[in-house]
Amino acid sequence: MMTRQGLQTVLVTGAAGFIGSHLVDALLRQNLRVVGLDNLSTGTKSNLATAMEHEAFTLIEGDIRDRETVEQACDKAEVVFHLAAVTKVAESLRDPQKYHDINVTGTQNVISVAVNKQVSRLVFTSSAAVYGAPAKIPIPEEIPLNPLSPYGASKVEGERLCHEVADQHNLQAPQLRCFNVYGPRQPIDNEAGVISIFLHRARQGLPLVIYGDGHQTRDFIYIEDVVEAFIRAATLDTVSTQPINLGTGTAVSIRELAEEIQDQVPSCPIDIQYEAPRTGDIYHSVARINRLQRTLDFTPRYALRNGIAKTVEF
């Protein structure tokens, strides 16, 4: 991957999280100075063990809702990767105000500071949750958005803020709508992390629990592909201000996923167990990735089997 000429310092919010920590590691490998901002409410310093040994990395412990902290973190940054967010759908239904405060007010704070600091580009992490139960599969970016949770709604609002700043200021703000990201370091306490949950249970010899009939589909994208797309969104000379689906374009049923886990963890005898569908679960979700291929000149490289193998190895 190449970087724009002269790019030296970048800020990653949510740096200690699953995606953020992998992004930090990749940016350091490109000889960039990286500042990480994280309040460690969900991310962990252990995710940054490699980065913390690097002299070009600085971790600032703080909250994106605190403007002074964001200003400190953003000082001298030329690009901001904004990943800091709360991401649990079920929790957002119980505590919508928390999700608005962090994901909307916090994002507004980060964008405002980026404008004042004359950052050239801000890459915003959005989510397939903005679509809700889509009327069309694979999902094109231009269909009407219909989020079914405060989490999804907060990402819609974050995208709107990015569009506003792109229209009014000299700040490019591409938005990447992540589908089901998986890989090493993924926590097992988030309902979106079905692969990490399945692997955790498989290693313990516990049944893999499928809610529903197992024919529901998801679009699973490996973390290394996600990181490469993020860096491309930050470093290409020009990038679309339209939202971009970040998935593989391949639908995998949850039953197929469970069988793949069984195949790759043969040392642990594991069964598949079915339980009643969970309220609010979307049946089919797979990305149309034409815009990803066209605007970022990128097609994900990892097939599910290969990505799971690397995750198992970790």
SS (H, E, C) the chain: CCCCCCCCEEEEECCCCHHHHHHHHHHHHCCCEEEEEECCCCCCHHHHHHHHCCCCEEEEECCCCCHHHHHHHHCCCCEEEECCCCCCHHHHHHCHHHHHHHHHHHHHHHHHHHHHCCCCEEEEEEEHHHHCCCCCCCECCCCCCCCCCHHHHHHHHHHHHHHHHHHHCCCECCEEEECEEECCCCCCCCCCCHHHHHHHHHHCCCCEEEECCCCCEECEEEHHHHHHHHHHHHHCCCCCCCCEEECCCCCEEHHHHHHHHHHHCCCCCCCEEEECCCCCCCCECCECCHHHHHHCCCCCCCCHHHHHHHHHHC
What is the C-alpha separation between 108 and 113, in angstroms, rounded?
A: 9
Q: For residue 35, give the nearest of 57, 8, 50, 63 by alpha carbon.
A: 57
**Residue 4 CB coordination number (10 Å):** 13
β 79-82/121-127 pair status? parallel
> Are the CB atoms for 71 and 101 separated by under 8 Å?
no
Is residue 274 part of the annotated active site? The answer reads: no
> Are the CB atoms for 197 and 188 separated by under 8 Å?
yes
Torsion, CA 294, CA 9, CA 108, CA 172, rounded to 10: -30
Catalytic residue among 151, 182, 222, 302: 151
Annotated catalytic residues are: 151
